[in-house]
């Protein structure tokens, strides 16, 4: 029997139907969706970790090599280390502060009075 490990097995079934195979499929799906597993979620987590490290002042040179030396040329003028200057941190922190101070005052406007029942 083939099943998709990225979607949980049916949950609303009687307890008698929740066999050892059902529990194994459930755990396989949970493991596949875990952020420590290779997959779509892991890729997003990797990008988030790189962005967090950039905010903290750390560079990932393996990612920068794709921009600095895309052809993999062995030359003396290609740097192995780069000084990180976090010029965007102040702007990002300003936006975070503005969002935190923004009042939560959403308004809803009905443009079609016949749509309300």
| Predicted pLDDT of residue 42 | 61
Q: Yes or no: say if 62 and 69 are a contact pair by the CB < 8 Å rule.
A: no
What mean pLDDT do residues 16-45 have? 75
pLDDT digits (tens, 9 = 90+) for 46-94: 788 888 888 888 888 888 877 887 787 787 777 778 888 888 888 888 9
């Amino acid at each position: 029997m083939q099943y998709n490990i990225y979607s949980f097995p049916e949950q609303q079934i009687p307890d008698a139907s929740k066999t050892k195979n059902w529990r194994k499929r459930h755990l396989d799906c949970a493991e596949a969706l875990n952020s420590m597993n290779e997959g779509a979620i892991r890729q997003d987590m990797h990008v988030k970790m790189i962005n967090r490290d950039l905010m903290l002042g750390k560079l990932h040179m393996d990612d920068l090599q794709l921009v600095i030396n895309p052809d993999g040329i062995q030359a003396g003028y290609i740097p192995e280390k780069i000084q990180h200057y976090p010029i965007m941190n102040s702007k990002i922190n300003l936006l975070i502060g503005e969002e935190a101070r923004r009042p939560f005052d959403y308004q809803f406007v009905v443009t079609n009075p016949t749509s309300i029942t």
